Amino acid sequence: MSKYHFIGIKGSGMSSLAQIAYDMGHEVQGSDEETYFFTQEKLEQRNIPMYGYNTDNIKNGYEIILGNAFDETHIECRKAKKLGLKVYTYSQFLGKLLDETPSIAITGAHGKTTTTTMTSTIFKHNFITSYLIGDGTGHGERNSDYIIAEACEYYRHFLAYHPDYAVVTNIDFDHPDYFNDEHDMFDAFQSFVNQVKNTVVICGDDRLASKLKPNKAKVITYGFNDGNNYQIKNVKTTSENSKFDIYKNSNFLGTFSMAVFGLHDISNATSAIALADISGLNVEQIQKSLDFYHPAERRFSEHKLGNNVIVDDYAHHPSEIKATIDSARRKYGDKQIIAIFQPHTYTRTAKFLNEFAESLLTADKVFLCPIFASVREKEKIVGIEDLQKVTPGAEIIKGEENFDMLNFDNSVLLFMGAGNINKLCHKFLEKNSDK
């Protein structure tokens, strides 16, 4: 048994990683801001100690995991170095775990959290499985058959991983504060798939992902288009679920049913089904497991409020916003769709200003919240008024004092963004729950 201290333990990935280490029998503690984060709930359930940042937290005998949001100048990291303790970054430590067990890494510009959730749902019902999901969910098993992990492309963190299997859901330009352009981003993904040992499952419908050519790994493709190894056909969606057929190399594999509604989620599910099929599971085993699927935190999380549906969703890129609105329309065709969006980072907002507007305008009405800036950003290069100018009819909501603007009937209210808009969503639910 080892002893680990996590610096920034409430981060979504760090929380998941700490849970895995704890479940595997290690002694775990961590530090973070005193502010409440939803990711700490699963840590509290395990009675994992959490402290405010303080050099007194760093003691001999511990190995240190440093969150990706920090560098070696952090006061606790400096203390660890002074004591001569082993220090891993988040990515290095996860890479170590992936090397120790047959591993599946799931990446992509969009959909990786959902796809990791789908894949882990299937595998944990059929194999001894450890998994790390980017919504703060982690589960560890000693002597696992597989470990499944979400792999983030930001700052090329996923290059610390050399998995046996990988999924690439798509490649779409994002993180303009780090990547220069889509070519730079493609290069990162190409470097990642070159490190995969066995098989890469790639969305063959995606313009950029379909061009990836791993050095060693076999390529399996999936999607709606002809020519994919796993092709989706005959999609039928109701308010309860979606049913779809999958053909494997042009031969009928099976019909699957799942509580998802957007075409992007059906595509993501197919990558998970392909992995399960490759791993030797039959159609019945896969379908039985999919019946247990529940979306990840803040991935189309629904709440009923009278004849309205309130949705909390992490969508923060134009492509994700469009997909979330499409899912709402497919599931609730009789309701109007209201988009309440909080942009995340000045750089992303400035880069995709017109694209955000185009995606948001697929809703029936648009409300905008002030931009949630990154701690890394030094300069406010754009404001929410700039997005309002290119989004005809959009109105600005600054806080709960503006809730009267959201007085809609028979509607789906989509609270979307990667910042703290989930807090606004829950305040809205609290204020209106008694009406």
Q: So what's the pLDDT on residue 35?
A: 85
Q: Do residues 233 and 308 both lie within one domain?
A: no
434: confidence class by pLDDT, cuts 50, 70, 90: low
Q: So what's the pLDDT on residue 78?
A: 96
Q: Do residues 259 and 136 both lie within one domain?
A: yes
φ, ψ of residue 283 to 5 degrees: the values are -60, -45
Task: State how far the Cα of 273 lies from the Cα of 315, in Å rounded to an integer.
Answer: 24
At 75-101, the pLDDT tens digits run 999 999 999 999 999 999 999 999 999
Buried residues in 126-138 as b, exposed as e (16+ CB within 10 A)? bbebbbbbbbbbb
Element (H, E) at 75: helix 75-83
Residue where one domain finishes, among candidates 290, 311, 333? 290
In a domain, 96, yes or no: no
In a domain, 204, yes or no: yes
Q: Which amino acid is at 199?
A: T
Residue 387 near residue 359, CB atoms below 8 Å: no
Q: Do residues 177 and 252 both lie within one domain?
A: yes
Q: Do residues 268 and 139 both lie within one domain?
A: yes
Q: Do residues 57 and 14 both lie within one domain?
A: yes
At 296-347, the pLDDT tens digits run 677 788 899 989 999 999 888 898 999 899 989 988 988 999 999 999 999 9
Q: Do residues 130 and 159 both lie within one domain?
A: yes
Residue 63's CB is within 10 A of a number of other CB atoms, namely: 16
At 228-238, the pLDDT tens digits run 999 999 999 88
First to last CA, the chain: 53
Q: Do residues 176 and 79 both lie within one domain?
A: no
At 375-429, the pLDDT tens digits run 777 788 899 999 999 999 999 999 889 999 999 999 999 999 988 899 999 999 9
The answer for residues whose C-beta is within 8 angstroms of residue 48's C-beta and 6 or more apart is 9, 18, 19, 22, 28, 29, 30
In a domain, 195, yes or no: yes
Q: So what's the pLDDT on residue 212?
A: 98
Residue where one domain finishes, among candidates 90, 112, 128? 90
Q: What is the DSSP letter of 90?
A: H
432: confidence class by pLDDT, cuts 50, 70, 90: confident
- For 349-401, give the DSSP string: HHHTHHHHHHHHTTSSEEEE---B--TT--S----HHHHHHTSTT-EE--SGG
Q: So what's the pLDDT on residue 435?
A: 56
Residue 145's CB is within 10 A of a number of other CB atoms, namely: 15
Task: State how far the Cα of 74 lies from the Cα of 83, in Å rounded to an integer.
Answer: 14
354: confidence class by pLDDT, cuts 50, 70, 90: very high
In a domain, 254, yes or no: yes
Q: Is the pLDDT of residue 292 over 80?
A: yes
Q: So what's the pLDDT on residue 68?
A: 85
Q: Is the pLDDT of residue 290 over 60?
A: yes
Total domains in the chain come to 3
261: confidence class by pLDDT, cuts 50, 70, 90: confident
Q: Tokens 């729950």 appear where?
A: 433
> What would the mean pLDDT of 282-294 be, rounded to a whole number?
95
* CA proximity to 130, closest of 262, 19, 31, 224: 19
In a domain, 95, yes or no: no
Task: State how far the Cα of 206 lies from the Cα of 273, in Å rounded to an integer.
Answer: 18
Task: State how far the Cα of 83 lies from the Cα of 24, in Å rounded to an integer.
Answer: 26
Q: Do residues 107 and 43 both lie within one domain?
A: no
Q: Is the pLDDT of residue 25 over 90?
A: yes
Q: Do residues 115 and 263 both lie within one domain?
A: yes
Q: What is the DSSP letter of 148?
A: E
Q: Do residues 131 and 52 both lie within one domain?
A: no
Q: So what's the pLDDT on residue 297?
A: 74
| 421: CATH | 3.90.190.20
Q: So what's the pLDDT on residue 300?
A: 81
* CA proximity to 53, closest of 28, 89, 79: 79
Report pTM: 0.84
In a domain, 244, yes or no: yes
Residue where one domain finishes, among candidates 290, 314, 349? 290
Q: Do residues 86 and 135 both lie within one domain?
A: no
Structural domain containing residue 389: 301-432
Q: Do residues 233 and 327 both lie within one domain?
A: no
Q: For the chain, what is the mean pLDDT?
A: 94
